[in-house]
Chain A
């Protein structure tokens, strides 16, 4: 099986879908140019190198470099989607989507509903998210709960190169607006990725590990944090199930509940803000639907409710890590049995 980076897996998904379906276009800032470059085209392939090579393969009509105006090109993408194209808009940082909430929340997310189901909006908005890159509070947030909150949007958060490719192809082929969020610290991670095109259905959690003592739910980069914790816990005889919902909306509630029923304990690892967040949502689901199987409290491992700090020592302390997950698991293991 070929080993590829997360970045290369996304790039391959874009290449393959653009080749398969001429309605697929990409647009965004610097995706064919490059700030600080000497004027050559496709200097970088976007701020994170994900769109590299698309310009050569598909030309300027389908690979569109935009001005620095997210509200304009996200609106253009939404309009293009509702009139027959399958646009993929790239936003450098999810933090910048604040300036186009109307385009996303009130337009794209509502077209299907407000036009009696007759309009489809096959729009994908790709954006990076997450702390840990010393980029300060306006370039580091994990805002997936904002989009999960809005009916009509689908929210995808891949954690591995394999999932990144399969979920992006699924997102492009989906007829609804999809917010596709890439943790910037994952771009250089590697994994097995088939050369063939393939899709991963939404609302299908990945079960990465099965144990009988505790269920850990995590998305994005937190999946590797949860796996590190689970491996360390195994050496002290605590066996954890680790599941990655992969999509925050729609959510695979069945797998979460099934796995909690088997272990009776739940720890959620989430790098978004704790209030009204992803972890809180899953905790509420399990408390309502599986209360009788719980042996102890549901614990949420999240950052504190603060902006992402710029000081490196504070940023490191801000992010959930394996040590915190291990401590939480030990705490819930004190309950039951």
Chain B
């Protein structure tokens, strides 16, 4: 009985149709652990590592470095030592003939009508687990979680949302922190999700903390990724450059500040942000949102440490240790109930820059939060 597993080209984000294999990170014949990074793949949006879906031996590297492979196409084959080469050949040719017509049932984000207006939501997963709601940062969109949604959706519903005025969600007249929190309640109501795990990045972290303090019964647990609200310092250059940028070059420069490696920002990522920002009313809404948490003279203006202290549920805080936007030192001195993890080498976007590490932290957080709550 042979046991072969395909290593397919992953789909990171809506627009990805193919990726380029940059290089293998392990040689053919190497023993790999489930979750281990075994290949580096580059898309028009970003480069990232592909993880082994199962433990075993990397029996075959089907794609060669530099090759373009469609989403779902075969990168390699993982199996055991007993499988013969002939069986692997048969597996590869069977797989190649089906991959041509498979995929295409990629879930797409859709506008969900809420009491306060439409909100763009990517819904994945399902089942009885407490749903996860993913909240991106200032100027971001639900694509910030492109490397994380699949890992989380294996045992629960996952909702990645575009906050008002971000991504494909229309701007609203009121767009300060409390208004954004209200928009999250509204979309949870519309999705019939009264109690959720909140995962918030940067400004999304401040939104999660605001919800935890104003409607604690709705937050089962919190994961805060480099959140706004735990200290004064924040890189003003990024905020002002982002708000001012309406063209490719300055936007690329601004977004580069988010990553430890500015080259991680591709033209597609820049184009996506510009497309959102060019919509009527969005620059004004983004300016109002910024004014609600940032003052050029004094930095951050939202003090949310009390919100964190007052929250009873499980809390995990994740920070890139070379974050150039909000210093990881803001994770110092948090209540003992908060579990803090620094991600080595990551900037302000650890969920993209170190997706595997962050996915492991998220999975661990939810399984322990499910047990305790």
Chain A residues at the B interface, C-beta cutoff of 8 Å = 1, 162, 166, 194, 196-201, 204-207, 210, 234, 237, 254-255, 258
CA distance A162 to B68 in the complex (A): 27
Chain B neighbourhood of A197, CB < 8 A: 279-280
Across the two chains, which residue of chain A brings its CB closest to B109? A1
Q: Does B215 contact A (CB under 8 A)?
A: no
Instruction: Please indicate the chain A residues that have their CB under 8 angstroms from the CB of B246 in the complex.
Output: 201
With an 8 A cutoff between CB atoms, is B170 at the interface?
yes
Given contacts A1-B168, A198-B280, 15 further A-B contacts (CB under 8 A): A1-B108, A162-B275, A194-B168, A196-B170, A196-B280, A197-B279, A198-B275, A199-B280, A206-B271, A210-B44, A234-B68, A237-B66, A254-B249, A255-B249, A258-B249
Interface core residue of A194, A196, A201, A258 (most chain B CB under 10 Å): A196
Contact with A along B350-363 (1 / 0, CB 8 A): 00000000000000
- How far in angstroms is the closest Cβ of chain B from A182? 21
Q: How far is the CA of A251 from the CA of B86 in the complex (A)?
A: 58
Chain A nearest Cβ from B248, distance in angstroms: 7
- Contact between chains at A204 and B279 (CB < 8 Å): no
- Grouping DSSP codes into helix (H, G, I), strand (E, B) and loop, the B interface class, with mixed when no group exceeds half, is loop
CA distance A204 to B44 in the complex (A): 20
The A/B interface has a contact count, at CB < 8 Å, of: 37
A197–B281 CA distance with the chains assembled, in angstroms:
9
Q: Give Cα A201–Cα B250 distance, bound, in whole angstroms.
A: 14
Q: Which chain A residue lies CB-closest to B266? A: A210
Shortest CB distance B272–A (Å): 11
A167 to chain B, nearest CB (A): 11
Docked pose: A197 CA to B279 CA in angstroms:
6
Contact B278 A207 (CB under 8 A): no
Q: List 16 A-B contacts (CB under 8 A).
A: A162-B275, A194-B168, A194-B275, A196-B279, A197-B280, A198-B275, A198-B278, A199-B280, A201-B246, A204-B248, A205-B248, A207-B267, A210-B44, A210-B266, A234-B68, A255-B248
Give 8 closest A-B pairs by Cβ, nearest first.
A197-B280, A198-B278, A198-B279, A196-B279, A207-B267, A204-B247, A199-B278, A210-B267
Interface string of B267-301 (1 = CB under 8 A from A): 10001000100111000000000000000000000
What mask results when residues 31 to 63 of chain B are scored 1 for a CB within 8 Å of chain A, else 0? 000000000000010000000000000000000
Q: Give A205's nearest chain B residue, CB to CB.
A: B248
B88-110 at interface with A (beta carbon < 8 Å): 108
Chain A residue at minimum C-beta to C-beta distance from B111: A195
B248→A194 contact, CB < 8 A: no
The minimal Cβ–Cβ distance linking A130 to chain B, given in whole angstroms, is 26
Query: In the complex, A199→B276 CA distance in Å?
Result: 11
- Complex Cα–Cα for A200 and B280 (A): 11
Q: Which residue of A lies closest to B247 (CB)?
A: A204
**Chain B residues in 8 Å Cβ range of A254:** 249
- Which of B168, B278, B280 has most A Cβ within 10 Å? B278
Q: How far is the CA of A1 from the CA of B110 in the complex (A)?
A: 8
User: What residues on A are CB-neighbors of B170 within 8 Å?
Assistant: 196
| A194 lies within 8 A of B279 (CB) | yes
**Across the two chains, which residue of chain A brings its CB closest to B246?**
A201
- With beta carbons under 8 angstroms apart, the residue of A1, A196, A207, A234 that contacts B248 is A207
Expressed in whole angstroms, the minimum distance between the Cβ of B106 and any Cβ of chain A is: 13
User: Are A166 and B278 within 8 A (Cβ)?
Assistant: yes
Contact with A along B154-196 (1 / 0, CB 8 A): 0000000000000010100000000000000000000000000
**Chain B residue with the shortest CB-CB distance to A1:** B168
With beta carbons under 8 angstroms apart, the residue of A200, A206, A210 that contacts B278 is A200
Chain B 7-23, CB-CB to A under 8 Å as 1, else 0, gives 00000000000000000
In the complex, A68→B144 CA distance in Å?
54
Chain B residues lying within 8 Å of A162, measured Cβ to Cβ, are 275
Bound together, the chains give a CA A207 to CA B267 distance in angstroms of 7
